[in-house]
Amino acid sequence: MQQATRYSLLITHYSLLITHYSLLITHYSLLITHYSLLITHSAIPM
């Protein structure tokens, strides 16, 4: 019983880690997209 609880906690922990890092990756890719759009916008004269 204790072993199963330990494994379920490990699985929950790692799934939270994966979710955290995928959110970080999404955040940074959005930042990169944002700044590349800004650079493209400033490169084109109004």
Mean pLDDT, residues 22-30 taken together:
98
CA atoms within 13 A of residue 41's CA, in its CB half-sphere: 6
**Tokens coding 22:** 């995928």
Mean pLDDT, residues 5-9 taken together:
94
For CA atoms 16, 21, 22, 24, give the dihedral sign: positive
Could you read off the pLDDT of 30-39 as tens digits, one per residue? Answer: 999 999 999 9
> What confidence tier does 46 reach under pLDDT thresholds 50, 70, 90?
low
Amino acid at 41: H
pTM: 0.63
Instruction: Give phi and psi for 7, each to the nearest 5.
Output: -70, -35
Could you give the CA distance from residue 45 to residue 15 in angstroms, rounded to a whole number? 46
